[in-house]
Structure 1
Amino acid sequence: MKVLIIIFAMVVTACSTHPSRDDSVYGASVGIVNHTSKYIHSALANGAGGANMGAWGAGGANVCCVIVPSKWYPGLKVHVRWNMPEGSKDVYKEKIVEVERYEDDDGGSLYIHIFPNDEVRVVVSTYAGWSTKHPIPASKKPAPESSQ
């Protein structure tokens, strides 16, 4: 009888486990893409990141490293913290942001995109923030309004 109970428990446990997820990770460089007219002093994803991105700026990912799963999965999120000073006063903001879907074979860098109204998007890409192949096109500085 004890044997049957043990076998039953093993079967129930085996049926209730979720399929295993690939838990392999790598260290990705971090880049910033600024879609605003304000200077970004720093931006971090899970504590790693870069600094000094001018208004409407987009760069490569040149600061190492944030740990990124090799395979994207739904619900993958990072903690983003950024500083957009007003004058000489630091203004820190932060939020939890879902990482947009990336292909398993990309092995790219992580880019933090900062938009007006504190909207933040995060992508993993092998293309620099200024590249036309980057998943989120960099914003262009608006043309000045002509006065007539």
Structure 2
Amino acid sequence: MEIKRIEENKKQFMDLLLLADEQESMIDKYLERGDLFALYDNGLKSICVVTGENSDTCELKNIATYEAWHGKGYGSRLIQYISEFYKDKYKTMIVGTGDLPFILHFYEKNGFCLSHRIHNFFTDNYDHPMFEDGIQLVDMVYLKKELA
């Protein structure tokens, strides 16, 4: 298993990025200013994008694993890696996600705890209704993890 920081041609990973954030114009808002990490294990399995939000906080903006590799620990391994990578630069990592139990559980098992909620984020910021497992995403739930 190898994790690489990608500094050029980040849009080559758009197919995978769109699995976690299905509107390309929203990805464009953070992709170039963020750090992109790709996890390879006999081929590309998972990616994530992290942005610096202020001097104390970074944000995990996007994390995605190809569906065939869900449940194999690749997403968790990426979170472990970036948590270690950023621990000397930031105090806290945040992540925003839809209000779905299985997603919240994933982040909680990786050291995140509930922080706050932005009401109507998905309905106000996306040009189409967003659904995950048949449930419409409305509010953005933020979780945080202390890095230091």
* TM tier, smaller: under 0.3
Report the TM-score when normalising by structure 1: 0.26
Larger Rg belongs to: 1
Report the TM-score when normalising by structure 2: 0.26
Say which structure is richer in helix. 2
For CA contacts below 8 A with separation 6 or more, give which structure has more relative contact order: 1
